Structure 1
Amino acid sequence: MQIKTFPLGPLETNCHLAWHNGLAVAVDPGGDPARVITFLQQNNLKLTHILNTHLHFDHIYGNQALHEATGAPILACSKDAYMLDSELGSGGMWGFPKVTPFAFESIEEGASSFMGLPCTVLHTPGHTPGSLSFHFPDAGAVFVGDLLFYRSIGRTDFPGGSMDDLKDSVIRKIFPLPGETVVYSGHGPVTSVQDEKLNNPYLTEFVR
């Protein structure tokens, strides 16, 4: 599996494009997806799914445009659906633009498959009640949205956030993954499970 990251939208949200054998998925298209669409076309890739780690506005700005361009269904957790009725999901807060409405299919925790590769969908609440992480064991990669960042964690002060839930999600769902697993976050650089176990100041108390 190959991965290319496109920072998109007003908050430079990482849209991670992963592909394997000509099939691709996009994780969190947070802005105009024109560069993603061009890359797909130039590399003869078929986008099969749009995966949302959560439904905050800055992660979903490009959902509808990317869906219209590719026909790929949008998948997200139903526990975050309520946010689409507020500025936190539909946009408009802090002067940011509104999100183009879209329809999504619900996906929950469990075994799945994308691009012909096994994927474990992990329910990792804390940043939002319906936050999901997508672990591709064969590729040694996990897409975590705003759950975990390089040497940091996602904020929990928005409605529906919980610091206790977030730490529990990381400790029980992410840290048990192989240490070399690359962590692809919603903002900022990549990191690894082992690096965060040893060096994340918000979480090291749980693993030492």
Structure 2
Amino acid sequence: MTNQTDFIRATFPVGPLQCNCTIIGDKATGKAIVVDPGGNADIILAKLNELGLKVVALIHTHAHLDHFLASGELKKLTGAPIYLHEEDKFLWDNLEGQCRMFGVPYAPVPDPDYWLKDDEELPCGCGVALHTPGHTPGSMSFYFESHKLLIAGDTLFRRSIGRTDLWGGDFKTIEKSIRERLYVLDEEACVVTGHGPDTTIGEEIRENSIVRG
């Protein structure tokens, strides 16, 4: 378990669609996970080096193109395994088609090495994976309880929620995920969204006009 003083969190936008990539690291062990490496592998690697961390897992909140664009290169350069929820395999299998649809250059990405499961501990040993479907069938959020931090991917945004008009999206499902899995967390928890600024669970319970607490 990573203690408060050794816990590292760095979030920064990457790729053509400015996906928020987050590095979660442990100063004591020098190990880190990278969540949603959505492009700019060079920037991600430079940040890891700056922080003195070695990546041990590439973890994805879901399999839309803007959250994976650096995954193949990072795996090739670091050997870190790729993590994803299995219900998003159909999206992962069509990453090239997604890129073509949005006019984004495609770089081949290998199949995921590990299927994430609901309520399982993350490789860093300081957080847990939460299955929060709705934006996609396999959408995941990652909760670091002792650090009051939630990485929500494209499930929850500041005063908004993830779109449900893409492949496998469903409004009722994402609404249930937010109400039953996210709004029950510590209201002081900082929420790292898939794009744009951070928020908190409490703010969204009170201020989110789409899904109120």
What is the CA-CA distance between 1:43 and the residue it aligns to?
2.6
Q: RMSD across aligned C-alpha pairs, in angstroms? A: 1.5
Does residue 1:6 correspond to 2:12, yes or no? yes
Residues 50 and 74, structure 1, Cα contact 8 Å, conserved in 2: yes
What is the CA-CA distance between 1:5 and the residue it aligns to?
1.4
What is the CA-CA distance between 1:20 and the residue it aligns to?
1.5
In the superposition, the TM-score normalised over structure 1's length comes to: 0.93
In structure 1, how many angstroms separate the alpha carbons of the residues matched to 2:120 and 2:103? 39
Aligned residue number for residue 164 of structure 2 = 156
Residues 175 and 193, structure 1, Cα contact 8 Å, conserved in 2: yes
What is the CA-CA distance between 1:88 and the residue it aligns to?
7.7
Residues 122 and 129, structure 2, Cα contact 8 Å, conserved in 1: no
Residues 53 and 132, structure 1, Cα contact 8 Å, conserved in 2: yes
Residue identity in the other structure for 2:72:
Q
Aligned residue number for residue 124 of structure 2 = 115
In structure 2, how many angstroms separate the alpha carbons of the residues matched to 1:83 and 1:114? 24
Aligned residue number for residue 207 of structure 2 = 199
Residues 96 and 106, structure 2, Cα contact 8 Å, conserved in 1: no
In structure 2, how many angstroms separate the alpha carbons of the residues matched to 1:72 and 1:101? 13
Does residue 1:177 correspond to 2:185, yes or no? yes
In the alignment, which of 126, 133, 143 is matched to residue 134 of structure 2?
Answer: 126
In structure 1, how many angstroms separate the alpha carbons of the residues matched to 2:187 and 2:56? 29
**Which 10-residue stretch deviates more, 4-13 or 88-97?**
88-97
Structure 2 unaligned runs (5+)? 1-6
Kindly provide the CA deviation profile for residues 81-130 of structure 1, in whole angstroms up to 9, marking residues without a partner as x. Answer: 0112335875211312224222211111023143232x221110000000
Aligned residue number for residue 42 of structure 2 = 34
Aligned residue number for residue 70 of structure 1 = 78
Residue identity in the other structure for 2:31:
L
Residues 55 and 83, structure 1, Cα contact 8 Å, conserved in 2: yes
Aligned residue number for residue 166 of structure 1 = 174
What is the CA-CA distance between 1:141 and the residue it aligns to?
0.7
What is the CA-CA distance between 1:203 and the residue it aligns to?
1.2
Residue identity in the other structure for 2:19:
T
What is the CA-CA distance between 1:18 and the residue it aligns to?
1.3
In the alignment, which of 143, 148, 152 is matched to residue 144 of structure 1?
Answer: 152
Counterpart secondary structure, 1:14: strand
Counterpart secondary structure, 1:112: coil
Residues 91 and 99, structure 1, Cα contact 8 Å, conserved in 2: no
Q: Cα–Cα, structure 1 residues 101 and 88, in superposed 2: closer, same or farther, change >3 Å? A: closer
Kindly provide the CA deviation profile for residues 20-57 of structure 1, in whole angstroms up to 9, marking residues without a partner as x. Answer: 12221111011121111012123321111111000001
Counterpart secondary structure, 1:106: strand
Residue identity in the other structure for 1:16:
T
In the superposition, the TM-score normalised over structure 2's length comes to: 0.91
Kindly provide the CA deviation profile for residues 43-75 of structure 1, in whole angstroms up to 9, marking residues without a partner as x. Answer: 321111111000001100010111122211110
Aligned residue number for residue 93 of structure 1 = 101
Counterpart secondary structure, 2:203: helix
The number of residues matched between the two structures is 204
In structure 2, how many angstroms separate the alpha carbons of the residues matched to 1:70 and 1:9? 19
Displaced runs of 4 or more, over 4 A = 87-90
Aligned residue number for residue 51 of structure 1 = 59
